[in-house]
Structure 1
Amino acid sequence: MAEFYDAKIVEEKFYKICEDRGYFEIDGNKNIQEDGKTFCIMMPPPNVTGVLHIGHALTFTLQDIITRYKRMDGYKTLWQPGLDHAGIATQNVVEKQLLAQGITKEELGRDEFLKKTWEWKEKSGGTIVYQMRRLGITPAWSRERFTMDEGLKNSVKKAFVNLYNKGLIIRGNYMVNWCTHDGALSDVEVEHKANKGKLYHLKYPLADEKSKFVIVATTRPETYFGDTAVMVNPDDNRYKELIGKEVILPLINRKIKIIADSHVDSEFGTGVVKVTPAHDVNDYEVGKRHNLEFITIFDEKGILNEYCAEFEGLERLEARDKIVQKLQDEGFVEKIEDYENQVGYCYRCKNVVEPYISKQWFVKSQIADEAIKSVNEGKAKFYPSHWINSFNAWMRELKDWCISRQLWWGHQIPVFYCDCGHEWADENEPLQCPKCNGVKFTQDPDVLDTWFSSGLWPFSTLGWGNGNALKGQKWNEGDLSEFYPNTMLITGFDILFFWVARMMFQSNNALGELPFKDIYLHALVKDKDGKKMSKSSGNIIDPLNMIDEFSADILRFTLTILCVQGRDIRMSNEQMVLSRNFTNKLYNASKFLLMNADKFSDFDENAISTKLGKYMLNRFKIAVNETRKALDSYRFNDAADRVYKFLWDEFCDWGIELSKADKSAISELGMIFKESMKLLSPFMPFISEYLYHELSGSNLENSQSIMISKYPKSSQIDNNIIAEFELIIEAIISIRRAKATIDQGNAKIAKAFIKLNSNLDISSYLSFIKLLAKCQDVEITEDIISNSARDVSENLESFVPLAGVDTTAIIARLNSQKTKLEKEIAKLENMLNNEKFIANAPQNVLETNRQGLAAAKDKLAKVVNELGNLT
């Protein structure tokens, strides 16, 4: 073997070989597929604008692990890859590129702009796919889909028309979340953040007594031009006599009524609030209850209109300071206070979102009813299970979903309007109006929310509704019967409502069945201090940098072993180094084995005859069982940890060391280690492949990959051989501890004695104990050996005679430790017995002291025991 393992060369080379051979495809493992076993998982389609980030790396790693495991376990496996067209994000990118050239999209026109967007998509869309390959993931790349490919366009039209004809898609004037740059947004596309703003107290004069006024507190003074009422709580005695009277809006002198509504919080501001039904979500409902006028004061771009007097033509946020200054000049501002509130921002362009009344298309909330019922009947299961509570809470409060977007890039809404007044939805390009047969009709200019098409992903990618676009493709309509419902979904919890819930109700509506049986939601990857990663914090971890510095295997394994269900991952270089140490351990173990043999046979349990070989075989069987159980229940970290412990703790630390006393077992250990590379393969596919071939005396270029070989299975376990070797290991550890008490830890001693509390006979194993405990002789005794260093463990006692050992310095050191510990214990006991200290000390300080006392007492007991043995 080479002196060092060159991960970069191996990973690039092996990945290309396996992809070129078609191993990632649904028939890539045909030689080991078992009848009736299928597995399907969908890749959350990353944005075509995107680059690989650490969250992607975690999602794709876990998906790859389960896919590789199922593939090796005889399943016909489909991991469906693809990209999302990312309507708002992509259009923003292309618009900015054009603006840099001094061109607006309006100057180009819709058709030309879309051509430019497709050109950009073709150039940039492969970036994240290349990065995913660097991670070593194995989706069926030949079947890669795009949410705007011809087949999926047809699928989206079919789904829309289906819902439209059922009355589950409607159009109407509603209050929506409005971005003045990107248009309408759904609730989940609005990010609410703490905002340090101002609370403006404005004076509204009474119409019948202008010297008097009410004071209204608002955070958005520019919207007062749209006020159609002032409102107080009916139980607020301060204002009861004003109910029904009128006030005059400052500067524009329009009269509005004072109304009463229990919605008003009397404790907020002055207890008097302005009502702007066209520009506030709560006021919208108040306006409907009280039949108020709805006055829109700015257009879709946020430009103030004629209702705003001299401020007409200004952008709404830019106008704020000017409006406030005018109000101050005219004496209509009582005071201005600092105020912190929550403000909604567009999740893409970060523009402040406005409540705005607009004619939009909506999916009615009733679409989710059956999906909610099915989930709560146990037809889908969440991992961790508590996510069902979040799912239910959100779905049961679901509002109608605004699906129309004022964009050009996306799926144009398949609704047509004829001059005769007829409106209809159509999957095809109509030639005439179905009502009047006229040809003067237009298509709705808006496009669908990106999440509408991605919500169809579990079945549209399998051919549902793809129509003629199926011809000549790798995928076909037969895939739907074979791979729907998908087996499971793996994604981050943060898109539970963006994507997971939408897939569930859209799939259930189209096919009458939930799209997947198991839903694994992983937590966030944070920095080593538990902070969320962000550019502003400067703590972003670039997975490609980590791959370059360490390797894909090491990044994958680190993410996996840290991924405890329901717990955020704290990522750091220190964790990566630990995983690198593991790969070094594996490499060195292989080098040791190959120092003793040219190559090793393929795994054959019946060929293992030595006692050490049988012990390691049975430890391997246990590891296989526990790894499989963990993977089957999606406890990825436990699976990785179990493989790690077998290979490092059991095989390397003990198997290899014990083999130095029985060279005849090395050929069997090499066979087992080779097979364990298959166990490791889903987690660390490259180094496991490399070491497997090194140990076989072969190479991947002219051999089959282990990624399409059978995943290890366990057979009956021999607990007797395990118990015997566990007793041998316990004896070695015990003698080492006894030697350490007399500073003989690394020295070879003449003799040690073992007194067993077990019925097992290990007399034939003493050669292992002699070598690893560094003793010329080991004797099993039934007596207590006097004048010796003694160690007591669970199943035995060990004795190291003190003859010839000068214990003076050792006893002095132990007595010094004893004195220090006694003083520490006395100090802590005095503190914890002091009632005043107990009453005043913080709970964490008390707990620290209690733990310190317990630890000190434990150490003292050990020191006293050691002194007793020596004296």
Structure 2
Amino acid sequence: MTDLAKSFEPADIEARWSARWEQLGCFDPTLDAARESFSIQLPPPNVTGTLHMGHAFNHTVMDTLTRWHRMRGHNTLWVPGTDHAGIATQIVVERQLQAAGLSRHEMGRQAFVDRIWEWKRHSGSTIARQMRRMGDSLSSKYEYFTMDDKLSRVVMDSFVRLYEQGLIYRGKRLVNWDPVLRSAVSDLEVESAAEEGSLWHLRYALEDGSGAVVVATTRPETLFGDTAVMVHPEDERYAALVGRRVRLPLSGRLIPVIADAAVDREFGTGVVKVTPAHDFNDYQVGQRHGLPMISVMGLDARMNDEVPEPWRGLDRFEARKRVVEQLQADGALVEVKEHQSMIPRCTRTGQVVEPMLTDQWFVATTKPGPDGRSLADKALEAVRGGQVRFVPENWVNTYEQWMRNIQDWCISRQLWWGHQIPAWWGEGGELFVARDEAEAQAKARAAGYRGSLRRDEDVLDTWYSSALVPFSTLGWPDATRELDLFLPSSVLVTGYDIIFFWVARMIMMTTHFTGKVPFRDVYIHGLVLDAHGKKMSKSEGNVLDPVDLIDGVALEPLLDKRTSGLRRPELAPQVRKATEKEFPQGIPAFGADALRLTFASLATLGRNVNFDSKRCEGYRNFCNKLWNATRFVLMQVEGLDERERGMAECAHDCGPEGYLDFSAADRWIVSLLQRTEQEVAQGLADYRLDFAAQAIYQFVWSEYCDWYLEIAKVQIAHGSPALQRGARRTLLRVLETVLRLAHPIIPFITEELWHKVAPLAGRGGATLSLAPYPEAQPSKLDERSEAEIAGFKQFVDACRNLRGELGVSPAQRLPLLACGDTALLQRHGAALQALARVSELRVFASREEWAAAVQTAPTAVVGDASIALFIEVDRAAERERLQREAQRLEAEIAKAQAKLGNASFVERAPAAVVEQEQRRVAEFGATRDKVLEQLARLGGS
């Protein structure tokens, strides 16, 4: 036989083929204008990170589609890259400095940035290695980093163009502010969670002293920035107060009472304070009512000079405590209630985010551009006009809702790592936006300015450069063949959580700069959750590393991983206990193919994925099954020449007297293969990888391995030479096709096996990755053979069921007694004996003769034939056994019926438990009836 190992061991195979694919350069695209093109952009992972389960799921989908199109002969480009991850990367390196007793401010900006580049060179390749372990077929030739010179040039150029078109501006607006980072942060970097706190009711006296209103607030320290109190315009309780003024506690400043529908009449007292400089809703109210904006905190979240002396300079939370104390002393504190509020925290630092009024750079998303349309208008039109399609379609509504309510995009960050904003300031506040300092100097001289220039210290939001990757990675603004062939890309595969932050912004930027959409389809998948439906998180201790599932990991290292990142260390014992229960022996090595097949089987449209590692075990078993099936096939052709393998050129000479004779089973498996090819192609075209994976699994395991291999074994052992050659040819050709069919989902094992099988089946090549993908051939559909084998399988299943009823070991062969239409049985007698473990087939001319021979044996009807497996039994002993079994079944039925007859149980038990008891009654009843039928034949009761 060939040198194929006896068992499937994925580690060596994966390492060998990862290296080989890279050496061959087979993932670089062809650039043939005459071919169809397929391209896909990898959502660039953060350079600071490692692949998590969400990445692994996402990459499985992308790689499957990419490999499929490459095998179909398309120009195929999967663009790899990593994001510089401004905030995350700066935090990582700053923590390294802190551990060494240093700070970035001591180093200076340039030295700090150099330190980050050094760290990136040493640590930035982790994700690339992990992607190779997953089998990702990315084109390394096109790999990028968002701070590369090529992409940085596009960032600078696009910024200047937008500024010159009036679509980028600098202004003072409210942003999410992290007082530890001292930077604005995006909404995606802010997570709000319910936290216990207080709701303070404060008395604001009316200006004329005739009374007061009671205001409910969760942030009393910001009252110094109040510029109004607000009631609902339809709230009759306060209608008479609208237009009057109240006196601000602790400061005495007068502010108006206004009416606005933003007020929730059911919250607190129905009267709220309006602090436009410290609350996003209040900011909008302030804009509508022309209220002043008073910021009472500095960028470090300490109270500033707008606050009276006793509280000036205090941290915001200490100020809150002291403000409340003074309010109570002044009699302005009416009551304090326990209250649960949604508190926004920065996901990078864990700090409470402060709405802060600061000077920032913004992209104007709704302002008309040079062509009269805004960025948001173009992005909406692209989806409404069908140029960009969402899969599933329901995400269009989410996209449209966000775009209709879009705000101008804050693109500046107060960091040192990132693309420094290409703007230079003169000594008197003059501003010159340019691609580099030389161009800025030229613009300054042209404007008559002769002083020195200082570059703006802010950097651009990471999402800005990410929004450009659909065209920046393909050579824009130069005219390249890649831009012609691969823009728009074919599909973007991403999670729903970044539809607005990344998807919408790519559509805005790409349509504006290139006149094309960035991609044709947006395939939105769900999030990967743990087996219990909870979000995977280091802080929760339930994360899984995809590489651990591929390579395996012992229990103790797994426990260390899960407990080291806990936000609350006191949860460690609980996490250890849960992990030990789920993985008592650690995680076994499943291999990349089993993990990929698991993800593919879970890839339903738009739904979250509850990941249970036990499913990996089932798909590892599938890989073993495919491996062993290949070993069997190779054994059938070992040492045979091309003629005896059935692969000679005279293969057209078919029939009982010819070179090849194809049995009904041969034609049946080939016909089923065509149907499977159709199902897989449709599944991949519709982004239903679950359907494609299911079709491959069903065909390989249930049809090819469980049925055809067994039938072919009999055909080779007992058939004519022509039938033997027909079986060998079919075994090889179908297996070779299956390996090509399954390759996009399980690339490693199929590549390994294909090189053993393909040469014997008349194919070859340097890599399966470039072999032609199977296409269904309707001419090979054979419904007659399908019906023939379906009937044969019914007989085999019936025999197996009869054997079960008799309680006979599978090793014991029994004679099969049949009458009626037995032609099919007789045509497949040899295969029936092998698969049904039948010692002989006895056919009776009449039912009377058959019934007399069958005596008390259980019988079955298949079509127009009646069958029975015959066995001599001790009638008395069998009768006694059956009576005991009937009594046991009656007891089980009574137990289940008693539960169902208990109204309290039915009302309180979960629906699934009630359904289970109902199923038990039905199943036990059916089995009891069969037992009683056998008893009746034996003359018992």
The answer, yes or no, to whether TM exceeds 0.5 is yes
**Shift of residue 23, structure 1, vs aligned partner:** 1.0
Instruction: Please name the residue that 2:193 is paired with.
Output: 193
Instruction: Please name the residue that 1:426 is paired with.
Output: 434
Instruction: Please name the residue that 2:560 is paired with.
Output: none
Instruction: Please name the residue that 2:218 is paired with.
Output: 219
Letter in 2 for 1:319: A
> CA 1:756–1:494 in structure 2 vs 1: closer, same or farther (change >3 Å)?
farther
Letter in 1 for 2:739: M
**Shift of residue 610, structure 1, vs aligned partner:** 3.1
Instruction: Please name the residue that 1:473 is paired with.
Output: none
> Greater shift after overlay, 859-868 or 553-562?
859-868
Q: After superposition, what is the alpha-carbon deviation per residue over 1:709-742, rounded to whole angstroms, capped at 9, x for unaligned?
A: 1122222212222222222222111112122222
Looking at structure 2, the residues matched to 371 and 733 of structure 1 have their Cα atoms a distance apart, in angstroms, of 58
**Shift of residue 288, structure 1, vs aligned partner:** 3.2
Q: After superposition, what is the alpha-carbon deviation per residue over 1:80-134, rounded to whole angstroms, capped at 9, x for unaligned?
A: 0011111111122222222333333233332222222222222221111111111
Instruction: Please name the residue that 2:305 is paired with.
Output: 306
Looking at structure 2, the residues matched to 300 and 505 of structure 1 have their Cα atoms a distance apart, in angstroms, of 32
> CA 1:499–1:833 in structure 2 vs 1: closer, same or farther (change >3 Å)?
same
**Shift of residue 688, structure 1, vs aligned partner:** 1.4
1:233 touches 1:264 (CA, 8 Å); kept in 2? yes
Q: Provide the secondary structure at the position in 2 that maps to 1:521.
A: strand
Instruction: Please name the residue that 1:344 is paired with.
Output: 344
Looking at structure 1, the residues matched to 230 and 296 of structure 2 have their Cα atoms a distance apart, in angstroms, of 20
Letter in 2 for 1:396: R
Instruction: Please name the residue that 2:524 is paired with.
Output: 521
Instruction: Please name the residue that 2:388 is paired with.
Output: 380
1:396 aligns with 2:404: yes
Looking at structure 1, the residues matched to 353 and 734 of structure 2 have their Cα atoms a distance apart, in angstroms, of 61
Looking at structure 2, the residues matched to 87 and 583 of structure 1 have their Cα atoms a distance apart, in angstroms, of 42
Match of 2:712 among 659, 662, 668: 659
Instruction: Please name the residue that 2:175 is paired with.
Output: 176
Residue ranges of structure 2 left out of the alignment (5+ in a row): 367-374, 553-588, 655-659, 717-723
**Shift of residue 387, structure 1, vs aligned partner:** 1.7
Instruction: Please name the residue that 2:720 is paired with.
Output: none
Q: Provide the secondary structure at the position in 2 that maps to 1:776.
A: strand
Instruction: Please name the residue that 1:447 is paired with.
Output: 459
**Shift of residue 220, structure 1, vs aligned partner:** 1.0
> Greater shift after overlay, 721-730 or 40-49?
721-730
Looking at structure 1, the residues matched to 908 and 738 of structure 2 have their Cα atoms a distance apart, in angstroms, of 57
> CA 1:390–1:290 in structure 2 vs 1: closer, same or farther (change >3 Å)?
closer
Looking at structure 2, the residues matched to 757 and 189 of structure 1 have their Cα atoms a distance apart, in angstroms, of 72
1:724 aligns with 2:788: yes
1:599 touches 1:695 (CA, 8 Å); kept in 2? no
Looking at structure 2, the residues matched to 586 and 832 of structure 1 have their Cα atoms a distance apart, in angstroms, of 45
2:799 touches 2:869 (CA, 8 Å); kept in 1? no
The TM-score with structure 2 as length reference comes to 0.84
> Greater shift after overlay, 479-488 or 788-797?
788-797
Letter in 1 for 2:622: F
Instruction: Please name the residue that 1:595 is paired with.
Output: 635
Looking at structure 2, the residues matched to 581 and 38 of structure 1 have their Cα atoms a distance apart, in angstroms, of 36
Looking at structure 2, the residues matched to 754 and 796 of structure 1 have their Cα atoms a distance apart, in angstroms, of 11
Instruction: Please name the residue that 1:542 is paired with.
Output: 545
Match of 2:827 among 726, 747, 764: 764
**Shift of residue 597, structure 1, vs aligned partner:** 2.9
Instruction: Please name the residue that 1:114 is paired with.
Output: 113
Match of 2:837 among 766, 774, 779: 774
The TM-score with structure 1 as length reference comes to 0.91
**Shift of residue 451, structure 1, vs aligned partner:** 0.9
> CA 1:795–1:321 in structure 2 vs 1: closer, same or farther (change >3 Å)?
farther
Count how many residue pairs are aligned between Structure 1 and Structure 2: 853
2:816 touches 2:842 (CA, 8 Å); kept in 1? yes
Q: After superposition, what is the alpha-carbon deviation per residue over 1:596-651, rounded to whole angstroms, capped at 9, x for unaligned?
A: 33278799686964314333323322222221221121111111121112211111
TM alignment of 1:181-260, pairs within 5 A? 181-209=181-209, 213-240=212-239, 242-260=241-259
2:41 touches 2:80 (CA, 8 Å); kept in 1? yes
Q: Provide the secondary structure at the position in 1 that maps to 2:789.
A: helix
1:628 aligns with 2:681: yes
Looking at structure 2, the residues matched to 387 and 350 of structure 1 have their Cα atoms a distance apart, in angstroms, of 30
Q: Provide the secondary structure at the position in 2 that maps to 1:155.
A: helix
Taking only the aligned residue pairs, the percentage that are identical comes to 39
Instruction: Please name the residue that 1:800 is paired with.
Output: 868
Looking at structure 1, the residues matched to 678 and 876 of structure 2 have their Cα atoms a distance apart, in angstroms, of 51
Match of 2:857 among 783, 786, 789: 789
Instruction: Please name the residue that 1:471 is paired with.
Output: none
Q: Provide the secondary structure at the position in 1 that maps to 2:816.
A: strand
2:64 touches 2:745 (CA, 8 Å); kept in 1? yes
Residue ranges of structure 1 left out of the alignment (5+ in a row): 468-475
**Shift of residue 249, structure 1, vs aligned partner:** 3.2
> Greater shift after overlay, 455-464 or 655-664?
655-664
Looking at structure 2, the residues matched to 681 and 164 of structure 1 have their Cα atoms a distance apart, in angstroms, of 48
Instruction: Please name the residue that 1:610 is paired with.
Output: 662
**Shift of residue 502, structure 1, vs aligned partner:** 1.4
Letter in 1 for 2:358: S
Q: Provide the secondary structure at the position in 2 that maps to 1:789.
A: coil
Letter in 1 for 2:471: F
TM alignment of 1:89-128, pairs within 5 A? 89-128=88-127
The CA RMSD measured in Å over matched residues stands at 3.1
Instruction: Please name the residue that 2:767 is paired with.
Output: 705
**Shift of residue 705, structure 1, vs aligned partner:** 1.5
**Shift of residue 852, structure 1, vs aligned partner:** 4.6
Match of 2:817 among 742, 753, 775: 753
2:172 touches 2:359 (CA, 8 Å); kept in 1? yes
Q: After superposition, what is the alpha-carbon deviation per residue over 1:432-465, rounded to whole angstroms, capped at 9, x for unaligned?
A: 2265243434443322211111111111100112
> CA 1:493–1:516 in structure 2 vs 1: closer, same or farther (change >3 Å)?
same
2:7 touches 2:628 (CA, 8 Å); kept in 1? no
> CA 1:837–1:317 in structure 2 vs 1: closer, same or farther (change >3 Å)?
closer
> CA 1:232–1:840 in structure 2 vs 1: closer, same or farther (change >3 Å)?
same
Looking at structure 2, the residues matched to 419 and 793 of structure 1 have their Cα atoms a distance apart, in angstroms, of 99
Q: After superposition, what is the alpha-carbon deviation per residue over 1:162-190, rounded to whole angstroms, capped at 9, x for unaligned?
A: 33333333332222222222422343443
Looking at structure 1, the residues matched to 468 and 531 of structure 2 have their Cα atoms a distance apart, in angstroms, of 37
Looking at structure 2, the residues matched to 756 and 67 of structure 1 have their Cα atoms a distance apart, in angstroms, of 54
1:205 touches 1:247 (CA, 8 Å); kept in 2? yes
Instruction: Please name the residue that 2:806 is paired with.
Output: 742
Looking at structure 1, the residues matched to 5 and 925 of structure 2 have their Cα atoms a distance apart, in angstroms, of 51
Q: Provide the secondary structure at the position in 2 that maps to 1:337.
A: strand
Q: After superposition, what is the alpha-carbon deviation per residue over 1:241-299, rounded to whole angstroms, capped at 9, x for unaligned?
A: 55555444333333334444443333321233222121122222333344333211011
> CA 1:848–1:23 in structure 2 vs 1: closer, same or farther (change >3 Å)?
same
**Shift of residue 703, structure 1, vs aligned partner:** 6.2
Instruction: Please name the residue that 2:44 is paired with.
Output: 45
Instruction: Please name the residue that 1:436 is paired with.
Output: 447
Letter in 2 for 1:187: D
Instruction: Please name the residue that 2:511 is paired with.
Output: 508
Q: After superposition, what is the alpha-carbon deviation per residue over 1:319-377, rounded to whole angstroms, capped at 9, x for unaligned?
A: 32233234334443332221112122223323212222222222233312122222122
Looking at structure 2, the residues matched to 840 and 96 of structure 1 have their Cα atoms a distance apart, in angstroms, of 54
Looking at structure 2, the residues matched to 243 and 596 of structure 1 have their Cα atoms a distance apart, in angstroms, of 93
**Shift of residue 494, structure 1, vs aligned partner:** 2.1
Letter in 2 for 1:5: F
2:819 touches 2:866 (CA, 8 Å); kept in 1? yes
2:229 touches 2:256 (CA, 8 Å); kept in 1? yes
1:156 aligns with 2:209: no
> CA 1:92–1:801 in structure 2 vs 1: closer, same or farther (change >3 Å)?
closer
1:788 touches 1:799 (CA, 8 Å); kept in 2? no
**Shift of residue 378, structure 1, vs aligned partner:** 2.2
1:464 aligns with 2:476: yes
1:645 aligns with 2:698: yes
Looking at structure 1, the residues matched to 843 and 873 of structure 2 have their Cα atoms a distance apart, in angstroms, of 22
Looking at structure 2, the residues matched to 34 and 191 of structure 1 have their Cα atoms a distance apart, in angstroms, of 46
**Shift of residue 191, structure 1, vs aligned partner:** 1.8
> CA 1:339–1:392 in structure 2 vs 1: closer, same or farther (change >3 Å)?
same
